[in-house]
Amino acid sequence: MAIDRVPVPPVVFDCWEPERTFKQCAATGPDGRPRLKRSYLARLRYDRDGLASVLLMDGTDTRKGQWFYVRRGVAPVPVELMDNGPDYFKDGLARSRVGGKVGYIDRKLNLVIPAQYDGAYPFEDGFAVVCTACTIAGDGEHSWYEGGQWGRIDRKGRVVSPFRPWEKGKRLEFD
What pLDDT, on the 0 to 100 scale, is given for residue 61? 65
Residue 148: closest CA among 132, 130, 168, 137: 132
- Name the residue ranges covered by the structural domains of the chain: 1-79, 81-175
Q: CA 133 to CA 174: how far, in whole Å? A: 19
What pLDDT, on the 0 to 100 scale, is given for residue 33? 87
pTM: 0.87
What pLDDT, on the 0 to 100 scale, is given for residue 60? 66
> Over the chain (175 residues), what is each successive 10-residue block's mean pLDDT?
50 87 91 90 93 87 83 92 89 95 97 98 97 92 91 98 88 73
Contact assessment for residue 119 and residue 143, using Cβ atoms and an 8 Å cutoff:
no
Amino acid at 90: K
What pLDDT, on the 0 to 100 scale, is given for residue 31? 83
